[in-house]
Amino acid sequence: QNKGTEIAFRINEEGVRISGKLLMDGQKFIYDTEEMKIWYDGTTQWTLQMGNGYNELYINNPTPEEQQAINPYQLLSSYKDNFTATDGGEKSLNGKLAHMVKLHANDESAELGSINIYITNDGTLSLLELIAPDDRAYKIEVRSMRNGLTFPKDTFTYSAKDYPADEVIDMR
């Protein structure tokens, strides 16, 4: 058993809001929203798309490049190699003063052009702004975060019993 993190979040992309939860433990994670749930155990990724009473399950072993786009651990741990950090100053977020760190992609063809990270004065991560090279912005508001959690060994593995799928597409 390991120590991990649970984050409740809300994503805002061009007026569309999605709320969910993220569990992380090293490279393993679960991304959980009303319409999609993703499990990644460090090797295999299961993506369950749910809608209109029909569940499709996609199974693959993602490449490092594919993981970069979806795995929060990969994104955050790669910042030293893939981004240049600058001080973005202070900004008020929901009545709290937050410090912004701007990360600019070193590679102009990267999927993310920049990331703005907002940390409140008490050290809490409160907002991430992911900005694509075409200036589309995704705002991820951190609603709550708990660290030092212990997850059972099978937490990051898909369970057909708990989440039955109508169709399984195995792309491994």
Statement: residue 61 has pLDDT above 70: yes
The whole-chain average pLDDT of the chain stands at: 88
Render pLDDT for 99-137 as a digit per residue (tens, 0 to 9). 999 999 888 877 788 889 999 988 888 999 988 888 888
Whether the per-residue pLDDT at 1 is higher than 70: the answer is no
Confidence class of residue 14 from pLDDT cuts 50, 70 and 90?
A: confident
As a whole number, mean pLDDT of residues 9-22 equals: 90
d(CA 5, CA 25): 6
pLDDT at residue number 73: 67
Residue 3 pLDDT? 85
Half-sphere exposure of 54 (CA within 13 A, CB side): 4
Q: How many CB atoms sit inside 10 A of residue 13's CB? A: 13
Q: pTM for the whole thing? A: 0.81
User: How does DSSP assign 18-85, residue by residue?
Assistant: EEEEEEEETTEEEEEESSEEEEE-SS-EEEEEEETTEEEEEEE---HHHHHHH-HHHHHHTHHHHEEE
The pLDDT of residue 150 is 93
pLDDT digits (tens, 9 = 90+) for 16-45: 899 999 999 988 999 999 999 999 999 999
The residues that bridge with 23 in the sheet, in sequence order, are 6, 30
Q: Quote the CA–CA distance of 83 and 100 in Å, as a whole number.
A: 15
CA dist., res. 172 & res. 157, Å (int): 16
Cβ pair 72, 78 in contact under 8 A = no
CA distance 83 to 130: 13
β-bridge partners, 51:
54
Q: How much of the chain exceeds pLDDT 70, in percent?
A: 94
124-146 CB burial, b ≥16 within 10 A, e <16 = eebbbbbbeeeeeebbbbbeeee
